[in-house]
Structure 1
């Protein structure tokens, strides 16, 4: 249970589905409730698929390109810290890389569940690198099942949050969403610094033990 809570909190904080509410509202303001539900469930499904693929085959891709896990931790940690800093500033739409040109293009297409909602709005480089690191940190089969269960739970919450985004936007208001995102930003920064420090310490130990 402790591992499940840790993985859930880490993944939820990095994904920050609350930060996606303003973008989702803007892209679906002319859609019906049924269409918003369909987009929400497919966005959550796409996020689960992207993160699961990152979790299981990400390490093999790193080996193919000759990238060490510690280098990934440092690079991913930097991305996560940058994301957390952007959350603290309340600038989550820009943080996710969904600029006006992308938003205008998405509004012209029938399905926005994959792009820009699932990627890069929710499942970005930070979350994918986090899942790749989890694969090595938790090698036991039971641990991997717990990680996938935690990711699935987060994706279910993503569906519920996106489906209720228009209501939540009215209920919380812009200031409420920003306040919650800033709290998450602090957690995300701490998580990123932890991954950077672990990667740096492992590299230093490797250098000094040779």
Structure 2
């Protein structure tokens, strides 16, 4: 009887142990994705691009751009490893390339220069033309830029099980919600940050 009780106790404690082992990986994924997506930087660019737009239109524009970028980020996270295998690119090789991209992003943040996903002058001029800016430049390259797409593939590629994979997807969604919130509060952020 004691043997059966010990087995059931081990089974019930295995799930919390799996979750406990997944928590550091999930938190690391959140930090990586948060830095690469850059909600505050996105909000500042969003505020400058939509300075003359009505408040209701700004909300709709922010929602559409976050949803489009989110769809692409989730597609890259879920199907990125498969596409890399079709292109005959190994995940370790992509990790090296993605690591270099993340290192360059860290350097730009360290030296207070615009990040890899920020807009250059030509892209700003294209964005100022009449038309919908939800896809370009807001969703691409601002929210779902090369760094954030590579980060989504990399953090999903290092998951060890379905708990970690679900955690990474949840962290992508959390970062997107934070980006949407930052875009909605862009004017207050600019006033606060100067």
Which range, TM-score by smaller chain? 0.7 to 0.9
For the pair shown, the structure with the greater C-alpha radius of gyration is: 2
Mapped to 1, the partners of 2:123 and 2:57 lie a distance apart of 20
1:145 to 158, 161, 166: 166
Q: SS of the residue aligned with 2:164?
A: helix
Residue 187 of structure 2 is matched in structure 1 by 166
Maintained 8 Å contact 1:76/1:125: no
Cα shift readout 1:143-187 (whole Å, capped 9, x = no counterpart): 2211111111110110000111122101211xxxxxxxxxxxxxx
Task: Answer yes or no: is 1:61 the counterpart of 2:83.
Answer: yes
Query: RMSD value over aligned CA atoms?
Result: 1.7
Residue 131 of structure 1 is matched in structure 2 by 152
Mapped to 2, the partners of 1:110 and 1:83 lie a distance apart of 30
- Deviation (angstroms), 1:69: 0.7
Maintained 8 Å contact 2:42/2:179: no
More helix by share: 1
- Deviation (angstroms), 1:47: 2.0
Aligned 1:55-134 pairs, distance under 5 A:
55-92=77-114, 95-134=116-155
Task: Answer yes or no: is 1:50 the counterpart of 2:67.
Answer: no
Mapped to 1, the partners of 2:170 and 2:58 lie a distance apart of 25
Residue 62 of structure 2 is matched in structure 1 by 40
How many residue pairs end up in the alignment? 172
Change (3 A) 1:145 1:32: same
Structure 1: give runs of 5+ residues left out of the alignment.
174-210
- Deviation (angstroms), 1:139: 4.1
Maintained 8 Å contact 2:37/2:148: yes
Mapped to 1, the partners of 2:79 and 2:58 lie a distance apart of 31
Maintained 8 Å contact 2:95/2:154: yes
Mapped to 2, the partners of 1:131 and 1:25 lie a distance apart of 26
After TM superposition, the structure 1 stretch with the greater mean CA deviation from structure 2, 95-104 or 35-44, is 95-104
Aligned 1:6-17 pairs, distance under 5 A:
6-17=28-39
Mapped to 2, the partners of 1:37 and 1:126 lie a distance apart of 25
1:28 to 22, 46, 50: 50
Residue 197 of structure 1 is matched in structure 2 by none
- Deviation (angstroms), 1:97: 4.8
